[in-house]
Structure 1
Amino acid sequence: MCGIGGIFQRRSDQPIDEQLLVNMAAIQVHRGPDGFGVRSLPGQGVGFCHARLSIIDLDANRGRQPFVSEDQQLLMAHNGEFYDFQAIRASLTAQGSRFTSKSDSEILLRLYQQRGLDATLPLLRGEFAFALFDRSLDTLFLVRDRFGVKPQYWALTKEGLVFGSELKVLFAHPGVERRFSSEGLFHQLMQTMVPGTTAFAGVHQLKPGHVLTVRRQGGEFLIDDRPYWDVGFPRQGERDGGRSEAEHVSAVREALLEAVEVRMVADVPVGCYLSGGIDSCSILGLAAAVSQNPVKAFTIGFDDARYDETPIAASMAEATGADQLVMRLSGNELYGHLEETIWHTERTIYNTLAVAKFLMSREVNRAHYKVVMTGEGSDELFGGYPAFRRDMFLHGLDTLPAADRQEWEQLLQEANQLVQGAMLAEEQVSDPALEAVVGFTPSCLQPWLACAPLVPDLLAPQHRQACEGYQPGAAIAATLDRSQLEGRHALDRAQYVWIKTMLEGQILTWGGDRVDMAHAMEARPAFLDHHLAAVAVQVPPELRIKGKTEKYVLREAMRGLLPEQLYRREKFAFMAPPAHADADKRAAMQALADQHLSPEAITAAGLLDAEGVAALFERHDHPDTTPATRVQLDAVINHLIGVQIMHKLFVAADLPAQARRQADALGWRLHQEEQAEPAYALIGMSAG
């Protein structure tokens, strides 16, 4: 895993400022402290930068990116991992390709040379984002992996296009505007983002499974954004009905084992995140089974027993012989590191789990680990969230007898109490635009749609006016591919919407890559292997959620690995305790609010309305406010604090100057390379 960035000018005769590329690499040094590179193609108006975290091929010089092809036609920078790269490299070598490194990244360059992009993409397995410039086509390609594990942002300037792994990489370029859009601010306060957007005007995030093609023509860009992959739930009646339950269980087990095996390949040790859930316990169990040595397991514990899963995690670690490290956190630690965390998430967070994972990635780094496997993606593919059970009950069990429906309803009420207000809305929310596309309003979006009516009163007048009549549900619905929803079972549709919204915009950003890579730590989510996904979508809904049991087929596939207590346990949403859970957490949140949400701070930023913010706090603390509503308002307060911090870090600060100072502090220097091609490389390797 690494960080990339680059500049593509509108005209090929516009020179590239290599020092600016150095600065763009320097501001993301946390993503890649092991090596740095800058290359431009003179006379082509294009240059890339790369900050390297060495995991495959540790030789600093041999594996350095960006790569330039021998004929100077291709320039490439890659962030992430390509699995099965050894077999692909062997096949390409047999066909005449010559490799200059042992890096997995180089297979992309060689595949493209032999087959072109469209034939290459289906062969790429893993988590990745890359940029590739083809001189013969005068075209830049930006690509993001299928589920969006790795980030990729881009923006247009007067001179051209700027891209990078993080927003701050773009903001290191003085031509990229740093300004909240009114709609972006609206969505920061209600949690759910519109796919493909950010909080900032003119700054886009490439959607998962998409290719952005930017062709230069007469000083202008022809831009095409298209998908190359989608989840592909079968239409009802098209799923393979000939497979028995046992065959589905076996297929899931084999596919997950293969996904874990390929992710154990590294030139450094691979650890595992371990909570008390089926997902991470399954990953650890399989990793321990294929490893020759004890696996290092990293566990987050909380000081609130209702949210703490360490006892089950400890039982799993003992059963597998894992070397477990447990990090326990209190409210002071969770809120004490919020600003640091938002510097990396670059968006607001509703729950301080993001802070917990930020602190855990620091512990992983201190333990001298660079790679961990994680359990993200299991709930998305196998129906694990409370929202899925609710949607299945309301929209997918039309033929269920009345007595069974009553039993289901009671189960839902009992099981969902702890997550109401955060993962489930207290009251049902209906959005016409989403119902028109999906057939119902997905339960996963309802808690945040329930926040939307609160937002206008919290906005500064100019933003409130700009958002008058704005419908956030309609904006989200417009990005969903109807062809992937029509004719599908209700559970399929619910899971698809979650994958396109909550998974990419939350779990894989502020719960994943952004806080993991804050301390140069690569997370490998084995469940998000697209080969495993192809098996999972064939599992009938009634085997994903069977009776009262969610993730049934996965439980059965992993039954031999799991402690009996965990095998029989219901899904528990892994999240940090909300602020109102006890007085210390509430005090820690209030201290941040006093700093960032004072009338003076609100006036200075120009984003919020002080009277609206004060009224929200009054409602939060009112004795008649229900617990579920208080959870919801906790989230909104976190967002209010977050947008103020974002303004401080990304708008008020001079990020281009900050990036230059970072490069100077690292002692990075550009030197002409002693080689035939007129390209540049960054020689200074010190991370400070």
Structure 2
Amino acid sequence: MCGIGGVFLADRHQTLDRQLLVNMAAIQSHRGPDGFGVECLDAAGVGFCHARLSIIDLNESRARQPFLSNDRQVLMAHNGEFYDFQRIRADLTAQGVRFSSKSDSEILLRLYQRQGLESTLPLLRGEFAFALFDAADDCLYLVRDRFGIKPQYWTMTPEGLVFGSELKVLFAHQAVERRFTSEGLFHQLMQTMVPGTTAFAGVHQVQPGHVLKVQRRSDRLEVSESTYWDVDFPRLDQRDSTLTEADHIANVRAALLEAVEMRMVADVPVGCYLSGGIDSCSILGLASAVSQGPVKAFTIGFDDARYDETPIAAEMAEATGAEQDVMRLSGRELYGHMEQTLWHTERTIYNTLAVAKYLMSRHVNSVDYKVVMTGEGSDELFGGYPAFRRDMFLHGLEDLPQSDRQDWESLLQTNNSLVQGAMLAADQVDDPDLDAVVGFTPSCLQPWLACAPLVPDLLADEHRQALVEYSPGKAIAEQLNPQQLDGRHALDKAQYVWIKTMLEGQILTWGGDRVDMANSMEARPAFLDHHLAAAAVQVPPELRIKGKTEKYVLREAMAGLLPEVLYKREKFAFMAPPAHTEPEKWAQMKQLADDYLSDEAIDAAGLLSKEGVRALFARHDDPATTDAERVQMDAVINHLLGVQMLHRMFVAADVPAQAREQADRLGWRVLMPV
């Protein structure tokens, strides 16, 4: 895993600033502290930078990126991992292709040279984001992996296109504007981003499974985007009915084992994150089975027993012979490190689990581990979240008697009472635009749509007026592909929408890459292997959620690995305790609020309404406010703190100067060509 960045000038005769590219690498040195590289094609007006985290081929001089082809026609920079690269490398070598490194990244360059991008993409397996410039076509390609595990941002300036692995990489460029949009601010406060967007003016994300093509014509850059992969649940009339339950269980088991085996390949030790869920426990069980020695298992524990999963995790660690490392956290640590976490997430967070994961990645780094496998993606593919069960029985079981529906709803609300207001809306929310595209309003979006009415009163007049006619549900609905929703089961639709919104925008961002790479730690989510996904989408809805049991097929596939208590346990959302549940944590949050939500701070940023913020805190303290409402308001308060922090870090601060200073501290410099 690494960090990349670069510029593509509209005018090829304009001079490239090499030190600027170094600065762009330096400000993301946490992603790649093991070295940096800069490569420019001056005659073409294009330059890339790379900050390297050494995982495969530790020889820095041999594996340094960006890679430039021998004929100086193709320039490439890659962030992430390509699995199964040994087989591809051997096959190409047998065909006479010569490699200059042992790095997995180099297969991309050689495949592209031999067969072009369209034929190369299906062969790439893993989590990745890369940039590739072809001088012969005068064209830049920005590509992101299928689920969006690795980030990739871009923006257009008067000089040309700027891209990078993080927003701060773009902001290190003096020509990039740093300003919140009203729409971006709205979505930060209500939690769910519109796919492909950010909170900042003119700054976009390459969407998962997409290729951004930037073609230069004369002195003008033309941008187009295309899809090379999407989550493809079969239409109801196209499912393979010949596959039995036993077939699906065997297929899932085999695909997951293969995904884990591939992610154990590294030139450094590979550990595992371990919570009390079947996802991470399955990963640990399989990793332990294929490993020659004990696997290091890292667990986050909370002081609040209602949210703590360490007892079950400890049972799993003991059963597999893993070496467990438990890090316990309280409110002091969580809000005490929120600012550092937000500098890395570059977006707001609704729950301090992001802070907990930031602290865990720091701990992993401190004990000399660079790589861990994680359980992200299991719930998305196998129907694990309570929102999926709700949509299943409301929209996918049309013949279910009303009395059974009431029993389901009661059981669901009771078992998930701790996350009501966050993972489940307290009351039904219906959005007409989502209804029109999906057929119903997915339960995963309802908690955040329920927050939307709170947002206008929290905004400064300028932003509130700009959003009078704005519909967040419509903005999200317009980015969903109707062709992937038409003719699908209700559970397929619910999972698809979650994958396009919550998975990419939250779990893989502030719960994944950004807080992991903050401390130079690579996370490998084996469940998001696209070969496993191909098996998962074939599983019928009634086997993903069988009766009231979620992730049924996965449970059965992993039954021999899991302790009985875990095999029978209902899915529990892994979250940090909300602020109001602990006096110490609430006090820590209030300290931050005294700074970032003071009248002076609000006036300085010009984003929020002082009166609206005061009214929200007053309502939170009202004895008549329910627990579910407080969970919801805790999330909104976290977002209020977040937008103020982001403004101070990235809008008010001189980010280009920070990048120069970081390059100076690291001693990262390049000699200008003579």
TM-score by length of 2: 0.99
Instruction: State the SS of the aligned residue for 1:381.
Output: helix
Shift of 1:407: 3.0
Give the aligned partner of residue 174 of structure 1: 174
Give the aligned partner of residue 14 of structure 1: 14
Q: Which amino acid counterpart does residue 627 of structure 1 have in structure 2?
A: D
Shift of 1:402: 4.1
Give the aligned partner of residue 685 of structure 1: none
Aligned residue pair count: 674
Shift of 1:400: 2.0
Q: Distance in 1 between matches of 2:608 and 2:374?
A: 37
**Superposed CA offset, 1:65-111 (max 9, x none):** 00000000000000000000000011111112110000000000000
Question: Identity of paired residues, percent?
Answer: 77
Q: Distance in 2 between matches of 1:479 and 1:226?
A: 13
Shift of 1:222: 1.3
Assess if the C-alpha contact under 8 Å between 1:36 and 1:51 holds in 2: yes
Give the aligned partner of residue 247 of structure 1: 247
**Superposed CA offset, 1:9-64 (max 9, x none):** 00111121000000000000000001110000121100000000000000010000
Q: Which amino acid counterpart does residue 53 of structure 2 have in structure 1?
A: L
Give the aligned partner of residue 342 of structure 2: 342
Task: For 1:73-472, list aligned pairs within 5 A.
Answer: 73-472=73-472
Q: Distance in 2 between matches of 1:222 and 1:431?
A: 35
Q: Which amino acid counterpart does residue 296 of structure 1 have in structure 2?
A: K
Q: Which amino acid counterpart does residue 420 of structure 2 have in structure 1?
A: Q
Q: Distance in 1 between matches of 2:6 and 2:580?
A: 44
Give the aligned partner of residue 684 of structure 1: none
Pair 1:545 & 2:545 matched? yes
Q: Distance in 1 between matches of 2:426 and 2:8?
A: 48
Assess if the C-alpha contact under 8 Å between 2:416 and 2:572 holds in 1: no
Shift of 1:414: 1.8
Shift of 1:227: 0.9
Q: Distance in 2 between matches of 1:22 and 1:477?
A: 39
Q: Which amino acid counterpart does residue 206 of structure 1 have in structure 2?
A: V
Assess if the C-alpha contact under 8 Å between 1:178 and 1:200 holds in 2: yes
Moved >4 Å (runs of 4+)? none
Q: Distance in 1 between matches of 2:424 and 2:218?
A: 51
Give the aligned partner of residue 683 of structure 1: none
**Superposed CA offset, 1:144-181 (max 9, x none):** 00000000000000000000000000000000000000
Shift of 1:403: 4.5
Give the aligned partner of residue 504 of structure 2: 504
Instruction: State the SS of the aligned residue for 1:519.
Output: coil
Shift of 1:401: 3.5
Q: Which amino acid counterpart does residue 269 of structure 2 have in structure 1?
A: P
Task: For 1:17-56, list aligned pairs within 5 A.
Answer: 17-56=17-56
Q: Which amino acid counterpart does residue 358 of structure 2 have in structure 1?
A: F
Q: Distance in 2 between matches of 1:571 and 1:50?
A: 40
Q: Distance in 2 between matches of 1:185 and 1:121?
A: 35
Q: Distance in 1 between matches of 2:10 and 2:506?
A: 33
Q: Distance in 2 between matches of 1:300 and 1:211?
A: 36
Higher mean C-alpha deviation, range 10-19 or range 380-389: 10-19
Q: Which amino acid counterpart does residue 110 of structure 2 have in structure 1?
A: R
Assess if the C-alpha contact under 8 Å between 1:132 and 1:141 holds in 2: yes
Q: Distance in 1 between matches of 2:646 and 2:148?
A: 23
Shift of 1:406: 3.6
Q: Distance in 1 between matches of 2:363 and 2:397?
A: 45
Assess if the C-alpha contact under 8 Å between 2:382 and 2:544 holds in 1: yes
Q: Distance in 2 between matches of 1:92 and 1:671?
A: 35
Instruction: State the SS of the aligned residue for 1:29.
Output: coil
Pair 1:663 & 2:648 matched? no
**Superposed CA offset, 1:313-333 (max 9, x none):** 000000001011100000011
Q: Distance in 1 between matches of 2:336 and 2:595?
A: 12
Q: Distance in 2 between matches of 1:638 and 1:252?
A: 38
Pair 1:571 & 2:571 matched? yes
Which ranges in structure 2 are unaligned for 5 or more consecutive residues? Answer: none
Assess if the C-alpha contact under 8 Å between 2:74 and 2:133 holds in 1: yes
**Superposed CA offset, 1:490-543 (max 9, x none):** 000000000000000000000000000000000000000000000000000000
Assess if the C-alpha contact under 8 Å between 2:394 and 2:405 holds in 1: no
Assess if the C-alpha contact under 8 Å between 2:365 and 2:519 holds in 1: yes
Q: Distance in 2 between matches of 1:222 and 1:655?
A: 28
Pair 1:57 & 2:57 matched? yes
Assess if the C-alpha contact under 8 Å between 1:15 and 1:43 holds in 2: no
Give the aligned partner of residue 562 of structure 1: 562
Give the aligned partner of residue 675 of structure 1: none
Shift of 1:409: 2.5
Give the aligned partner of residue 580 of structure 1: 580
Instruction: State the SS of the aligned residue for 1:61.
Output: helix
Instruction: State the SS of the aligned residue for 1:670.
Output: coil
Q: Distance in 2 between matches of 1:464 and 1:403?
A: 44
Assess if the C-alpha contact under 8 Å between 2:413 and 2:420 holds in 1: no
**Superposed CA offset, 1:633-668 (max 9, x none):** 000000000000000000000000110011011111
Instruction: State the SS of the aligned residue for 2:328.
Output: strand
Q: Distance in 2 between matches of 1:293 and 1:121?
A: 35
Q: Distance in 2 between matches of 1:530 and 1:560?
A: 24
Q: Distance in 2 between matches of 1:87 and 1:404?
A: 52
Q: Distance in 2 between matches of 1:231 and 1:437?
A: 17
Q: Distance in 1 between matches of 2:402 and 2:483?
A: 33
Higher mean C-alpha deviation, range 463-472 or range 281-290: 463-472
Instruction: State the SS of the aligned residue for 1:281.
Output: helix
Instruction: State the SS of the aligned residue for 2:236.
Output: coil
Q: Distance in 1 between matches of 2:68 and 2:75?
A: 5
Q: Distance in 1 between matches of 2:24 and 2:264?
A: 31
Task: For 1:481-496, list aligned pairs within 5 A.
Answer: 481-496=481-496
**Superposed CA offset, 1:209-229 (max 9, x none):** 000000000111111111110
Q: Which amino acid counterpart does residue 655 of structure 1 have in structure 2?
A: V
**Superposed CA offset, 1:297-347 (max 9, x none):** 000000000000000000000000101110000001100000000000000
Q: Distance in 2 between matches of 1:450 and 1:16?
A: 48
RMSD over aligned Cα, in angstroms? 0.9
Q: Which amino acid counterpart does residue 436 of structure 1 have in structure 2?
A: A
